[in-house]
Amino acid sequence: MITYLYWGAVIALVIAALLFVGLKLNSPKPALAITAVILIASWAAYYFHFQQVFVKRYGGVMAITVPDGHNHITATWKDDNLWIENYDPVTNTCYFNEYSKGNLLQGKVTIKNCNPLMPR
């Protein structure tokens, strides 16, 4: 929900800039330039900072796809970074993948001979 509110506020800001600069000041080119800057800055802020913060703290929206042939085991948060554990039954390997803000720092831990789905 918070994600939709964020983008709704961005769209309202874009419309306000278009109406004020474009119609009031009668300057369509600067209005389009300002709206482009607002959209690019808003996208960058969302992608590099707000997405995981919204998901973790306020119930935002985020989608991650499990690789083909892998079984999802668990997901956990470490600070504002999401760690996903998947199991590959073909190679008998567990993978912990980190999804950080903007995917700038992505850690990966591989555990070989991991067989978490089989009873011991």
Residue 8 pLDDT class (50, 70, 90 cuts):
very high
Q: What is the per-residue pLDDT across 9-55, written as a single tens digit (0 to 9) for each?
A: 999 999 998 888 878 778 888 888 899 999 999 999 988 888 878 88
> Residue 51 has what pLDDT?
81
Entry pTM: 0.63
Specify the 3-state DSSP secondary structure of 81: strand
Of residues 86 and 56, more confidence is placed in 86
Task: Say which residue the tokens 């912990």 belong to.
Answer: 96
Residues 62 and 1: beta-carbon distance below 8 Å: no
CB neighbours (10 Å) of residue 31? 20
Higher local confidence (pLDDT), 60 or 31: 31
For CA atoms 94, 100, 102, 105, give the dihedral sign.
Answer: negative
Q: Where are the domains of the chain?
A: 2-58, 71-112
Beta strands 108-112 and 81-88 are unpaired
C-alpha to C-alpha distance for 93 and 118, rounded to whole angstroms: 13
In this prediction, residue 120 has a pLDDT band, given cuts at 50, 70 and 90, of low
Exposed, middle or buried by CB within 10 Å (0-12, 13-18, 19+), for 51? Answer: buried
pLDDT tens-digit series, residues 70-117: 999 999 988 878 899 999 989 989 999 888 766 666 788 899 988 776
Instruction: Residue 92: name the closest of 117, 64, 75 by CA.
Output: 117
**Structure tokens belonging to residue 115:** 């067989």
